[in-house]
């Protein structure tokens, strides 16, 4: 999962409960976010709005597709 934050604010506005569940954050990359920028799995407008309103945006991993889910279930039974 990814936790987007404003570089200047760092983790100041992240609720303590979220940080506790998230674990120790590790910087993965620095991005300049603009309304024109495209992100692979999330709507940039949602990210920017959340950064403005809450001070962060939490991007969860995508749900596994049905084929991968069935494979995981099959392997779990072994």
Dump pLDDT digits (tens) for 10-68: 999 999 999 999 888 899 999 999 999 999 899 999 999 999 999 999 999 887 777 67
Query: Is the distance from CB of 52 to CB of 4 less than 8 angstroms?
Result: no
Query: Is the distance from CB of 46 to CB of 35 less than 8 angstroms?
Result: no
**Residue 56: Cβ within 10 Å count:** 21
pTM above 0.85, yes or no: no
- CATH top-level class for 2-76? alpha beta
Cα distances (Å, whole numbers) of residue 43 to 8, 9, 14, 22, 39: 22, 22, 20, 21, 7
Tell me the residue ranges of DSSP E strands in 1-78: 2-5, 56-59
Every domain of the chain and the residues it spans: 2-76
């Amino acid at each position: 999962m990814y936790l987007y934050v404003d570089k200047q604010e760092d983790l100041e506005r992240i609720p303590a409960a979220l940080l506790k569940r998230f674990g120790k954050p590790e910087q993965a990359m620095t991005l300049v976010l603009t309304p024109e920028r495209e992100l692979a799995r999330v709507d940039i407008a949602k990210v920017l709005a959340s950064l403005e309103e809450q001070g962060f945006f939490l991007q969860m991993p995508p749900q596994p597709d049905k084929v991968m889910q069935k494979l995981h279930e099959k392997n779990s039974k072994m």
